[in-house]
Amino acid sequence: MYADVVLPLPLDGVYTYNIPADLELNVQVGCRVLVPFGTRKVYTAIVMRLHNVKPDYATKDILELLDQTPILLPDQLKLWQWIADYYLCSIGEVYKAALPSGLKLESESVVESNMDFEAEHPLKPSEQLVMDVLSEGNGKKIGELQRSTDLQNVLPVVRRLLDMGAVVIKEEVRRLYKPRLLHCVRLSEDFFDETKLVQLYDTLEKRSPKQFELLQAYLTLSEAAFAIKMQNRVLLKEVSKSQLMQAVAGSPLSAFNALRTKGIFETYDRQVGRLDSSDMEGEIFLHALSDAQTQALESIREEWTRRPVCLLHGVTSSGKTEVYTHLIKQTLDQGKQVLYLLPEIVLTTQLTERLKRIFGNRLGVYHSRYPDAERVEVYQKMLSEKPYDILLGVRSSIFLPFKNLGLVIIDEEHEQSFKQKDPAPRYHARNAAIMLAHQSGAKVLLGSATPCLESYYNVQSGKYGFVALKTRFQNVQLPRIEVVDVKELQRKRLMKGPFSPQLLETIQAALEQRQQVILFQNRRGYAPTVECDVCGWVPRCQNCDVSLTYHKNTHQLACHYCGSVYPVPAQCPNCEEANIKSHGYGTERIEDLIKEYFPQARVARMDLDTTRSRLNYEQILHDFQQGETDILVGTQMVTKGLDFDRVSVVGILNADTMLNQPDFRSYERAFQMMAQVAGRAGRRNQQGLVILQTRDVESPVVRQVVENDYESLFREQMQERELFNFPPHCRLIYVYVKHRNEHVVEKLSHELATIMRQVFAHRVMGPDTPFVSRVQLMYIRKVVLKMELSAPMNEARERLLQIQRYLLSQPQYHSAQVYYDVE
Ligand code: ADP
Ligand code: ZN
Ligand code: ZN
């Protein structure tokens, strides 16, 4: 028997391995197997197909079967294949993105020993050997472990250690969450008795003072006397192991172990800080819906009887989330599961709390900021007999195993972060989720106050159902938007740096009334432009084709593409004058300036820089929510669907940077960002005010934002898209080529475009030099292919891959990369 498997590598297609006789009965499609690949490497592969057609090359044996039952359901394999086909990548790349690292160990995975681990059974010699090597610290690649241990095959050993929690996969993203498990101690049942305890006390006091001391400390911490008097062990206060260790001087570990061995203490783990720690069993409490909301809910259900996908266009704060919770409840009542997709990690925090209050531990959360071990756990729970009924997550949660999916909610469906840019698979989670729902016969609800034009177009063409929710909850009015003409104010010299007098006055008034303010500036750092005032020299990144941004708190110049940082030169390297100046306003500078204007106000900043360092986004949001901050300055992070009570003013500092982006979606995005951030104002009781600063007061998008006129944005943009043939009128495929050498990339891109023209004729545009044409030392060129929606995509894909193979087989292009981005 043979198994076709997919490897976690960017390779096309599947690889065939021989199934050893003793495994033949057990290997199933969807199980993981260990296979050798290349000269020395071992990978975790997934079985896609079983057959007995002997390939015409020598096959290697499967080394080990990792699962007794499949960890990948048939629908998941189908989704992987669909993504690979549609987004023109290999299925191995989908596999890499789809499973948490802990489920796909390979020679390159880095493991480290888990400091908190306590063995329940003695380790086997091979396991001990690995632990010894790891104790040297800092983590090791599995490939390195293989070499330094001389074991026949180290991977299964590592996997066992991983399962028992002795080792962990080293995290690239540092954990932002509390450890999942708290090691706790309690008095065992046998000694939960006053007489016995007194006896024990006496013996220990004489024989082992250290153990005595420890027991004493425990009894105090746990308030045991009371619990024993009441004869109820539940009344023992929980004592963590580290708490107990700290209560006793010296290193009481051996004494502790002795007490445990004697059966006086017992240890257990308690889950902390995570959802499933909650003991709540679906104490479901839903808000009663308003009339408008009830109406919307019923219309959605009616639309679903005709088409599986429905778009809910609800103005900000209309209560879309409330409508979702009712639909979730109805789906759960039918015994089905719900996938609730959000675009951003930022949003999950607020929503998690909101949903947890309603659905308790039936809710699971999955996102990339969780440590890998926790993601593995969520994955396995979804496979188990008692999976989460609701899964809240960001785009990668479409890869979880759903056994019984009934509803997919895609909130803020217009958000571009649903699209993965890099690395492959460059998939759009909204589209992939619709596919997933389609496979399981689930319904889909897309929700947004500013729908993506493609979705709205699908409504118009009858593909999606449509429901509108036009009023805010309790009829709070949408915010009033005042446009401020920056050009005019500058002419009259009335601008105070980035602030108009109107904006400053409004902020002042809001602060006096103890209201909060959000200031939105779509640039992070201190100053976006740095320049020599004498000769005009501009510092640029050495790896990328972009100018650098000045960051004041680190006093460095930073590249926002590759993350490199550079010192600020004391003098200009070009003309040697010491006259380097920074211009423009990033969020960091706005924060500084606003503090100068309002020294009494408490100001916080939310952008990529503040949310990856000490003050993480949760803290910032929490403080703002609790009213501990008055003014929140931020990038588009503050525009997302957050729900605050006391924000009465929103300032959009510079609409022009958004309008001048070189992208066919820039107007649509500018509208979405401005309408969304405006929607943060005045969500309770009173109407909010938005100050929109722009040099281009005549811009149609500005008018559409002011009038909240989505229809007219849609009409105008659709005309333009039609005229210039952009999606949704065609399918847009960007073909990128990358190489270290600019001449090579030039030549290759021209050759590529020429051959593509022979095949696809007028549908090919370019090659172009993209806006940012060099990133991390690689030069980039792009060729655009615009296919009719009716064109057979399989054929196009085959042709593209043929061309790619042909070009890359030429020696001069060997180290070039070709990849695709399907819009
Ligand atoms: P959206 O998702 O459309 O922006 P939300 O669902 O966040 O709107 O609702 C805005 C606010 O109004 C929330 O704080 C929400 O709790 C409240 N709200 C909306 N509908 C109701 C309702 N039917 N009962 C009680 N509160 C509601
Ligand atoms: Zn100069
Ligand atoms: Zn760079």
C-alpha closest to that of 172 among 423, 371, 421, 394: 371
Buried residues in 285-316 as b, exposed as e (16+ CB within 10 A): eeeebbebbeebbebbeebbeebbbbbbbbbb
Long-range contacts of the stretch 18-21 (C-beta < 8 A, 24+): 18/59, 18/60, 18/61, 18/62, 19/50, 19/61, 19/62, 20/61, 20/62
Q: What residue's CA is closest to ligand 1, atom 21?
A: 319
pTM of the model: 0.79
Give the max Cα distance, the chain. 94
* Omega of the bond leading into 371 within 30 degrees of 0 (cis): no
Strand pairing category for 363-366 and 390-393: parallel
Name the phi and psi angles at 144, rounded to 5. Answer: -65, -40
Q: Could you say which ligand is closest to the alpha carbon of residue 547?
A: 3
Which residues, chain by chain, have CB under 5 Å from ion ligand 3?
A: 541, 543-544, 559, 561-562, 564
**% residues pLDDT > 90 (the chain):** 49
Which span out of 111-125, 142-156, 170-184, 463-477 was modeled with the highest average pLDDT? 463-477
Residue 234 has pLDDT above 80, yes or no: no
Does the pLDDT of residue 251 top 70, yes or no?
no
Output the CA 687–ligand 3 centroid distance in Å.
44
pLDDT recorded at residue 274? 43
pLDDT of 690: 94
Peptide bond into 425 cis (omega under 30): yes
Q: Does pLDDT of 111 surpass 80?
A: yes
What's the CA gap between 215 and 733, in Å, rounded? 69
Q: Is the CB of 290 under 6 A from ligand 1?
A: yes
- For residues 155-170, give the mean pLDDT: 82
Instruction: State whether residue 163 is helix, strand or coil.
Output: helix
Indicate if ligand 1 lies below 6 Å from the C-beta of 625: no
Q: Report the distance separating Cα 734 and Cα 745, nearest Å.
A: 16
Residue type, 734: Y
Calculate the dihedral angle through the C-alpha atoms of 427, 433, 438, 443, rounding to the nearest 10 degrees. Answer: -160
Tell me the CA–centroid distance for residue 292 and ligand 1, in Å. 12
Taking 80 as the threshold, does the pLDDT of residue 138 lie above it?
no
Q: Please report, rounded to a whole number, the percentage of residues in the chain having pLDDT higher than 70.
A: 95
| pLDDT tens per residue across span 299-326 | 999 999 999 999 999 988 899 999 999 9
State the pLDDT confidence band at 528, using cuts at 50, 70 and 90.
Answer: confident
Ligand 1 pocket: which of 286, 291, 317, 475 to mutate (most atoms <8 Å of CB)?
317
Peptide bond into 792 cis (omega under 30): no
Task: Locate the DSSP E strands across 283-421.
Answer: 309-314, 337-341, 363-366, 390-393, 405-411
Q: What burial letters (b/e) apply to 653-686, b meaning 16+ CB within 10 Å?
A: bbbbebbeeeebbebbbbbbbbbbbbbbbbbbee
For residue 540, give the ligand nearest its CA.
3
Instruction: Please state the rounded mean pLDDT for residues 460-469.
Output: 96
| pLDDT of 568 over the 80 cut | yes
> What span, in angstroms and rounded, lies between the C-alpha atoms of 525 and 635?
10
Helix H or strand E segment including 455? helix 453-460
Distance CA 777, CA 559 (A): 13
| 819 contacts 424 by C-beta, under 8 angstroms | yes
Range scoring the smallest mean pLDDT among 138-142, 259-263, 397-401, 702-706: 138-142
Of all protein residues, the one whose alpha carbon is nearest to atom 26 of ligand 1 is 287
Q: Give dist(CA 157, CA 153) in Å, integer.
A: 8
Q: Would you state the pLDDT for residue 496?
A: 94
pLDDT, position 284: 63
Give me the mean pLDDT over the 689-694 stretch. 95
Q: Give the burial string for 485-519 (b: 16+ CB within 10 Å, else e).
A: ebeebeeeeebeebbbebbbebbeebbeeebbbbb
675 within 8 A of 450, measured Cβ to Cβ: yes
Q: Would you say the CB of residue 643 lies under 6 angstroms from ligand 1?
A: yes
Q: Whole-angstrom Cα distance, residue 326 to residue 359?
A: 11
- 449 CA → ligand 1 middle, Å: 13
Is residue 468 pLDDT above 70, yes or no?
yes
Asked if residue 525 lies in contact with residue 558, where contact means CB atoms within 8 angstroms, the answer is yes
Mean pLDDT score, 227-244? 81
Please state, rounded to an integer, the average pLDDT across all residues of the chain: 88
pLDDT of residue 107: 67
Q: What is the DSSP letter of 417?
A: G
Is 745:738 a contact under the CB 8 Å cutoff?
yes
* Pocket-testing residue among 287, 315, 322, ligand 1, by greatest number of atoms within 8 A of Cβ: 322
Question: Is 559 strand, coil or helix?
Answer: coil
Encoded tokens for 589: 């500078």
Q: Which residue, 355, 313, 622, is CA-closest to 471?
A: 313
Instruction: Among 193-202, 232-241, 367-376, name the most confident range.
Output: 193-202
Please name the residue that has the structure tokens 């192991």: 241
For ligand 1, is residue 322 a contact (CB within 6 Å)? yes
Helices 142-149, 154-164: axis angle to 10 degrees equals 120
Cβ atoms of 465 and 675 closer than 8 Å: no
Answer yes or no: is pLDDT of 503 > 90: yes
Residue 178 predicted with pLDDT over 60: no
Residue 95 pLDDT grade (very low, low, confident, very high; cuts 50, 70, 90)? very high
pLDDT tens string 758-770: 999 999 998 988 8
Which pLDDT score, from 0 to 100, does residue 348 have?
Answer: 72
Q: Which residue has the higher pLDDT, 649 or 101?
A: 649
| C-alpha of residue 294 to centroid of ligand 1, in Å | 13
Nearest atom (ligand 1) to Cα of 354: 16
The single-letter code of the amino acid at 81 is: Q
**Mean per-residue pLDDT for 188-211?**
88
Q: What's the pLDDT at 106?
A: 67
Taking residues 12-39, report their average pLDDT: 90
Give me the phi and psi of 647, to 5 degrees please.
-85, 115
Q: Which helix (H) or strand (E) holds 453?
A: helix 453-460
pLDDT at residue 613 tops 60? no
When pLDDT is averaged across residues 358-362 and rounded to a whole number, the result is 88
Residue 405 — very low, low, confident or very high, per pLDDT cuts 50/70/90? Answer: very high
347 — pLDDT class (breaks 50, 70, 90)? low
pLDDT category at 267 given cuts 50, 70, 90 is confident
Amino acid at 346: V
Closest CA to 445 of 344, 302, 345, 346: 302
Taking the CA atoms of 789, 665, 458 and 393 in sequence, report the sign of the dihedral they define.
Answer: positive
Q: For residue 277, what pLDDT is reported?
A: 43
Distance in Å, CA 516 to ligand 1 centroid? 19
Q: Is 550 in the pocket of ligand 1 (CB under 6 A)?
A: no
In this prediction, residue 276 carries a pLDDT of 46
Asked which of 39-48, 387-396, 480-489, 803-812 is least confident by mean pLDDT, the reply is 39-48
Tell me which residue has tokens 């909850």: 473
The yes-or-no verdict on residue 460 having pLDDT over 80 is: yes
Which DSSP symbol is given to 547? B
Across 156-165, 192-201, 599-608, which has the greatest mean pLDDT? 599-608
